[in-house]
Each structure stands twice: as C-alpha cells, then as structure tokens.
Amino acid sequence: MMERFGTDIAKAREALMRGGLVAIPTETVYGLAANALDADAVLSIFEAKERPAFDPLIVHIGSMAQLNDLVSSFPERAQQLATAFWPGPLTLVLPKKPVVPDLVTSGLPKVGVRMPSHPLAQKLLQSLPFPLAAPSANPFGYISPTTARHVADQLGDRVDYILDGGPCEIGLESTIVSFAGDEVHVLRLGGLAVSEIEALIGRVQISASSSGNPVAPGMLVSHYAPRKPLLLGDIDYLTNKFMGRNFSVLAFSDLKSFEGCVLSPSADIHEAARNLFATLRQLDADGSSFIIAETVPEIGLGRAINDRLKRAAVPDVFES
Ligand code: TXA
Ligand code: MG
C-alpha cells in the first residue's frame, strides 16, 4: 500500500493528477485539495468533509498567470492587495470564468482565489497544470487542522496522501475580501490583519458578522467548534461560578493557578494565533467536560482569534 503520509511532492502530484485528494500544508491551515477544474474531483472533497454543497471552496494558485485563467475581472484594489499580500493569507473573491465548475463556487458567480506562501504548497502548485480547490482539511464544522497529524487523525482514511509541511506558521484561515462597486468587504477575518489591508487601500467594511445571511458559511455562528462546550468570558468570574466542576481553562498569556493551557506565555498575538487551533484540539481531548476561555486583545490578529473563539463558544453564555 502507498505510504499516505510524508513530504513527497511527486506522490502528492501523482494523486492529484489522477483526480485524487491530497491534504496540503499552507501557512494558514492544512487544506484538502483536488483539481479545481475537475468537478468529479471537487465532489470528492465535499464527500470527504461531509460538507454541505452550499459552502463554496477556495481555489489555490501558484502563479498570476493561473489567475487570468480563472477570473473575468480583477479590480484595481484587488490588484493592489494581491501585489502586496500574495503569496499569503488573503483570499480574493472575484468574478469567475466558466471554466471554474459551479460546484466550486456553490453556484455563485464569483470564486475565492488565494496564492499560498508555504514552500511545499508553492512547489506542488507550480508542478501542476491546474489550480487546487481546497477547504480546510477538517470535518465540516470542526476546528481547522494546523498539523499533518490533525488531518491524519480525522480524515486519514479519506485522502490519498497527506503532504507534511510541519506546523502552520500563521494558524488562522485566510482573510476573505470581496469587491462590490466601490466597496471592499471583509467576509471573514483571518490571518491577514484588517489594519494591514486598510493601511494599503483605506477603509473597508467588515461584513464578517454572524447574523443574517451567511455569504460565507465560515461566518456561520457555530463553526470552528470543539465537541465539548466552550464558555467564553472573564475567566476569574467563570471559574468562580463553576467552582468544583470539571473544566479546563484556555487563557491568553496567564493561566494563574488554573488547570489548562495558555496561547502565548509572552502575550504575543502571532504566537497565540499559531497555537489557537492545536490548543483547542488538545483541550477538546483532555479529561475535562467543558472549556472556559477568555478573549485576547483586539489588536492585529487578535480580532480574528476572538472571532474564532466566539464561533467556538456556546451561544448565549458569552459574557465579558
Ligand atoms: O486559509 C484558508 O483560507 C484555508 C486554506 C486551506 O487555504 N482554506 C479555508 O477554506 O479556510 P474553507 O473552505 O474552510 O473556508 C473558505 C470560506 C468558506 O466559508 C466559503 O464560504 C468562503 O470561504 N468562500 C469561498 N468561496 C467563496 C465565494 N465565492 N464567495 C463567498 N465566500 C466564499
Ligand atoms: Mg473551514
């Protein structure tokens, strides 16, 4: 049997050329990849993830030439963003050409495109004659994987190969940006801070709210969630309220005397982002029956970290 886990780009390439599924490392999270231009291959992504067909996929490219094949227009400000932040943790939602299967975009007229910076992902993409559709490589609704092991634990028997590129550098999914006339909308907060986008193109609208119509299902309230309940709020207050109960604590930088984990002992927001999903998985698997967590400072990537924590949290228990 073929070894399913490793660093062999030729094996990954061969499986993708056959229409197979390969988990790929990116700087944000691991993706579950297939030929974006082959509707059958794309369908197998939805099946493996048990993902509803209304949730569109991001298409990953290795060069700007590939972008021209996929999209029919490229607004000025999208170009500025691509020039500044690609390759990197930014997805641009742009009008699609007919070559992109409707399954990829869930029937929407626009496609989300991203050029990842991870060296293995780049090498793989540049070796292929087609771009790769890839959602995060987790079962639908669960926490995104930031190591190859996370992928193997949950989807190991459903992929042809897992390309191991080590732990993800950023640890949060890409920031998704869409364009409508003069307006720029951030559909999902992510690994590129909004402040960096605004420094380049001026004020943008944050449409990444959890209410109303989910333009991007990554915006669904219950998403990125552990299996056990997570209570988000002030940890002194919550631990006091649940004294004597079997919980673990997820703290930003200081665990005090509680049992649990910190995201960054030095209070570094990038380190906290990098550790967030692996730490949530660890707490989900420990012996506790629920998790008490606090938000992190709302600066830089802190906004996206808090967005994920709120979506992971039990609704209506949010207290701060
Ligand atoms: O960092 C990332 O973006 C990772 C890595 C693997 O690239 N991918 C990722 O994919 O997070 P996924 O499928 O888990 O989340 C993609 C989100 C979905 O919520 C989807 O609804 C939204 O992007 N999206 C994709 N195409 C879209 C479109 N045409 N219009 C609006 N939203 C779109
Ligand atoms: Mg996802």
Q: Using one digit for the tens of pLDDT, what is the confidence trace for 51-97? A: 988 999 999 999 999 999 999 999 999 999 999 999 999 999 999 99
- Residue range 202-214: average pLDDT? 70
Q: Which atom of ligand 1 is nearest to the CA of 172?
A: 1
Rounded-to-integer distance, Cα 218 and Cα 180, Å: 20
Q: What is the mean pLDDT of residues 304-315?
A: 93
3 has pLDDT over 50 = yes
Q: What is the mean pLDDT of the chain?
A: 93
Per-residue pLDDT tens digits for 270-298: 999 999 999 999 999 999 999 999 999 99
| Range 18-32 average pLDDT | 98
Res. 229: pLDDT tops 60? yes
Mean pLDDT of 253-264: 96
Compute CA 26 distance to the chain's CA centroid, rounded to the nearest angstrom.
10
Mean pLDDT for 144-164 is 96
- Ion ligand 2 neighbours, Cβ < 5 Å: 136
Assess contact for 27 and 169: CB atoms under 8 A: yes
- For residues 11 and 224, the model is more confident at 11
Going from the Cα of 133 to the center of ligand 2, the distance in angstroms, rounded, reads 12
Question: Residue 8 pLDDT > 50, yes or no?
Answer: yes
Quick one: pLDDT at residue 38?
Answer: 98
**Threshold 0.75, pTM exceeds:** yes
Residues with CB under 6 A from ligand 1: 26, 28-29, 31, 55-58, 91, 93, 105, 108, 110-112, 114, 134-136, 173-174, 176, 187, 215-218
Residue 224: band (very low, low, confident or very high) from pLDDT cuts 50, 70, 90:
confident
Report residue 210's pLDDT band, with 50, 70 and 90 as the boundaries.
very low
What's the pLDDT score for residue 316?
A: 54
Nearest to 251 by CA among 304, 311, 291, 293: 293
Distance between CA atoms of residues 42 and 45, nearest Å? 5
User: Do the strands 132-133 and 161-163 form a parallel or antiparallel pair, or are they unpaired?
Assistant: unpaired
Q: Are 89 and 27 a contacting pair, CB within 8 Å? A: yes
Binning pLDDT at 50, 70 and 90, where does residue 222 land? low
d(CA 234, CA 237): 5
CB 36 within 8 A of CB 130: yes
SS3 letters across the chain: CCCCEECCHHHHHHHHHCCCCEEECCCCCCEEEEECCCHHHHHHHHHHHCCCCCCCCEEECCCHHHHHHHECCCCHHHHHHHHHHCCCCEEEEEEECCCCCHHHHCCCCEEEEECCCCHHHHHHHHHCCCCEECCECCCCCCCCCCCHHHHHHHHHHHCCEEECCCCCCCCCCCEEEEEECCEEEEEECCCCCHHHHHHHHCCCEECCCCCCCCCCHHHCCCCCCCCCCEEECCHHHHHHHCCCCCEEEEECCCCCCCCEEECCCCCCHHHHHHHHHHHHHHHHHCCCCEEEECCCCCCCCHHHHHHHHHHHCCCCCCCC
Q: Give the lowest-confidence range in 35-44, 203-212, 264-273.
A: 203-212
- pLDDT at residue 315, rounded to an integer: 73
pLDDT of residue 109: 97
- In angstroms, what is the span from residue 173 Cα to ligand 1's centroid? 8
Could you count the other beta carbons within 10 Å of the beta carbon of residue 316?
6
Reading the block at residue 123, the tokens are 């090498």
- Across 261-269, average pLDDT: 98
Nearest ligand to the CA atom of 102: 1
Report pLDDT for 225: 86
Task: Please say if the pLDDT value at position 320 is more than 60.
Answer: no
* CA pair distance 19, 35, nearest whole angstrom: 6
What is the CA(259)–ligand 1 centre distance, in A?
34
Partner residues linked to 101 by β-bridges: none
Mean pLDDT over 183-209 rounds to: 94
Structure confidence at residue 218 (pLDDT): 54
Nearest to 93 by CA among 194, 221, 215: 215
- 294 near 234, Cβ under 8 Å? yes
Q: Are 67 and 74 in contact (CB under 8 A)?
A: yes
- pLDDT of residue 302 exceeding 50: yes
**What pLDDT is recorded for position 11?**
97
Atom of ligand 1 nearest to the CA of 112: 26
Are the beta carbons of 87 and 198 closer than 8 angstroms?
Answer: no
Percent of the chain with pLDDT over 90: 88
Tell me the backbone φ, ψ of residue 48, rounded to 5 degrees: -65, -35
| C-alpha–C-alpha distance, residues 270 and 285, integer Å | 24
| Mean pLDDT, rounded, for 23-50 | 97
